[in-house]
Amino acid sequence: MRVMTWNVWWRFGGAWQERATGIAATLEQAKPDVVGLVEAWADDDTTQPRRLADRLGMAAAAFAPTSLPPVPDPPEEPTQAGIEMGVGLLSSWSILATEIHRLPSAQRPGPPPSALSNTRGARCT
């Protein structure tokens, strides 16, 4: 089994669409079975994990919103407006269910960050 994790850096830096091409090309070359994504994005129509899973021919993708790092408020550029920050999972096998785990965060204000596991509860896309 080939497993990868990657901080894909949300839509920071202004060149996120160009980075998306390089991320997909690298994943195509590495051929992982499971990929964990940090700082992935989601909008009303799709998620970054879903787009990558489709391009790679993977069986499943999941996304869970998280608060860390926070989404810029106000947005730094128009393509950031209304976009969620989260963690994602890509899998060559079906994901039967997922679960969002809220992580301890007493030292910081606001909503807690989260982690995603493949048991039950998060949005599978």
11-58 residue pLDDT tens:
998 899 999 999 999 999 999 999 999 999 999 999 999 999 999 999
CATH architecture of structural domain 3-124 = 4-Layer Sandwich (3.60)
Upstream peptide bond of 69 is cis (omega within 30 degrees of 0): yes
Looking up tokens 């890509």, which residue turns up? 90
For residue 86, the cross-strand partners are 40, 65
Local confidence band at 109 (pLDDT 50, 70, 90 cut-offs): low
Local confidence band at 66 (pLDDT 50, 70, 90 cut-offs): confident
Tell me the pTM. 0.84
